[in-house]
Amino acid sequence: MFEITGRDAAGRCGVLSINGRRLETPAILPVVNPKKMLITPRELAEMGFQGIITNSYIIYRDEGLREEALAKGIHALLDFDGVIMTDSGSFQLFRYRRVEVSQREILEFQDRIGVDIGVMLDIPTPPDVPASAAERDAGETLLRAEEAAEFERRMLLTGTVQGSTYPELRRRLASRISELGFEVHAIGGVVPLMEDYRFAELVRLVMPARQCLGHAKPVHLFGAGHPMLFSLAVLMGCDMFDSAAYALYARDGRYITPSGTLRLEELRELPCSCRVCSEHTIAELRSLDAEEREKLLAEHNLLVSLEEVRRVRQAVHEGSLWELVERRARAHPRLLEALHALHAHSDYIEALEPVTKPRAFFYTGAESLLRPAVRRHLERLGNIELRGRELVLLQEAEKPFSRSYRLSSSRRYHICVVSQVFGIIPLEVEESYPLMQHEGLEVPEEAQLRHMRRAVDEYAAGFERVHVHTSLAEVLNVEGEVFESHGEFRADPDPELKLRALADYQFGRGAGRMLFSSARAEYSRQGMLRRAYSDEGELLATLRPEDGVLVLTIAGARRLLRLPPPMCRVVVDEEAERFVREGRSVYARFVKACDPAVRPGSEVLVVNGEDELLATGRAVLSAQEMLELGCGVAVKTRHGCR
């Protein structure tokens, strides 16, 4: 069972439950050589690792290890009670092009020794081989995947995507493997790319496969063992990695950091506070004999890797994964190229990106302008139906902008702030996340100026007149009637205008008309919108202060239900209807259909197959995940409709 517990971008935190054991994802599985253990599995467990990966083929080929594993089981053999995943011999097949075992034999062996997660015997294909060779190997891998999927077993089984450096081939293979019923998916054949720092190419190969593997199963990225890659891999939607780098680097005297690798002889200080670095000086490490130094370096490398995985998990939960990836990308030019390559897949990532997060949006550089949140905002602006005829453009000020300028839009003037991050921010929707909850630079960079000019040019089309404040006109050199004082645009607040704009922005075009025609607003002492009522005094919605999200009552939901299906809807089957009416959460396995525009954090209407309102609540998953996942909460119900 795989349950998602948190998400940001395409990254997610989850729990994989196997044979009574739990593996929290994202997870790093240290590679354990069953013949030569530099760090024992017991020591790995004491460090905090919940899972390891070892090689079943090595065990199978060693008569002593094989008999002991068959007699005692893999967990007793390795003295490890956590999750154990085993490679099938594909690594040896990759290196030597042959193994002395059939797939059937190695699958049976993995299952008999009590492996938690087994792996099919796929055909790893090196990068840059001729297309014909890649097609041949992919075809054989698919045949083996179909054979493995029919194998009866107690363990979870991993289906691996290959395809060399051919994105379309990987896409095709991933589509077929996703249909075969594997419990875990994997992407292989990419270690040489990582070793050669071909990170942009890694993105171009992983993303087509990842998009075709669906959302119901955890995805393992074979060989992604360096912590500088963890955040990027998680952002792409990978859940598990394995690492032999900790031992290989230690043998070579290399010291891992989250942003790269250093040789021990290059260090003057130990820039870490793990147990190894706290208890030893650089001089002491250098003076140790080779075996002891290798073990301590391996321990440090493992602890740094585990710390980075925990940092990534925290970033997912708090909504700061983009910032972490952008910081890591600054550590190496090839990582920065990879981040640029990732933005080519922003459609896929945006569909999974939460609409609201616990943490503010922090601008870290020009790459931040390409995040899905920026694009989503600019697209949502097109949903707003009711706007003034003349556009007024102001420079950014202290937030909230409407209070700084003491202005609000009117039926004549549509007043907007030109933002160095979000391009255009109408005052009507300024409270919506992340428009109020973001931090940028005091002086915009050239990339931001280009972004602002482009946003203004696109948004200004269609207005009768454009008024540009003089300070903004000087900075952006945009066309319009220049003015110095904004006092001439002051007008009495129009609550319906603001309410309708907020609803259109959040729920989609036409929502404001359905929800807030003939409505009145209630404001806080600070002048911020807080509640909306019908003319009869019925509460329709409240505006959540921390993120500006409209939270519907049942009365408001009934009004919004007049929007054409499937807008804002999550449809559940008859089995769940009674419980949802009582206000219980909606579980993914009961979802029959969903508005494709639903994102994690969206306020939704829960209906039955007859489009009758059952409840209103907050989506926990994206539309795609609701339809694919077999477990976990899909919607946290707020108000049931008895």
Q: Name the residues annotated as catalytic.
A: 87
Distance (Å, whole) CA 508 – CA 527: 26
- Give per-residue burial for 569-607: e unless 16+ CB within 10 Å, then b: bbbbeeebbebbbeeebbbbebbebbbeebbbbbbbbbb
**Six token digits for residue 515:** 């929800």
Residue 494: how many CB atoms within 10 A of its CB? 18
Distance (Å, whole) CA 428 – CA 243: 50
Chain-centroid distance of CA 575 in Å reads: 31
Which of 507, 548, 504, 553 lies closest to 528, judged by CA? 548
CA separation, residue 181 to residues 84, 152, 212 (Å)? 20, 12, 14
182: left (phi over 0), alpha (psi -120 to 50) or beta: beta
Kindly report the backbone phi and psi dihedral angles of residue 24, in degrees, each rounded to the nearest multiple of 5, phi listed first. -80, 130
Complete DSSP assignment for 198-234 = -HHHHHHHHHHHHHHS-SSS-EEETT---GGGHHHHH
User: Could you tell me the sign of the dihedral formed by the alpha carbons of 22, 25, 30, 33, in that order?
Assistant: positive
Instruction: Give residue 27's identity as a one-letter amino acid code.
Output: A
Burial-class residue 400 by CB neighbours within 10 Å (0-12, 13-18, 19+): middle
CA separation, residue 108 to residues 196, 382, 560 (Å)? 36, 57, 56
Q: Which residues contact 597 (CB under 8 A, 6 or more apart)?
A: 508, 567, 623
Alpha helices (runs of H) in 469-573, residue ranges in sequence order: 470-476, 495-507, 511-516, 554-560
Distance (Å, whole) CA 299 – CA 233: 23
The CA-based diameter of the chain, rounded to the nearest angstrom, is 89
Beta strand pairing status for 569-572 and 603-607?
A: parallel
Complete DSSP assignment for 245-294 = HHHHHHHTTEEEETTEEEEGGG-SS----SHHHHH--HHHHHHS-HHHHH
**Six token digits for residue 346:** 């922003």
Distance (Å, whole) CA 215 – CA 570: 18
**Six token digits for residue 375:** 């694009």
| CA-based radius of gyration for the chain | 28
Residue found under tokens 């870490």: 272
Distance (Å, whole) CA 295 – CA 140: 40
Kindly report the backbone phi and psi dihedral angles of residue 3, in degrees, each rounded to the nearest multiple of 5, phi listed first. -120, 130
Beta strand pairing status for 219-221 and 240-243?
A: parallel
Residue found under tokens 């002991």: 68
Preceding amide of 130 cis, omega within 30: no
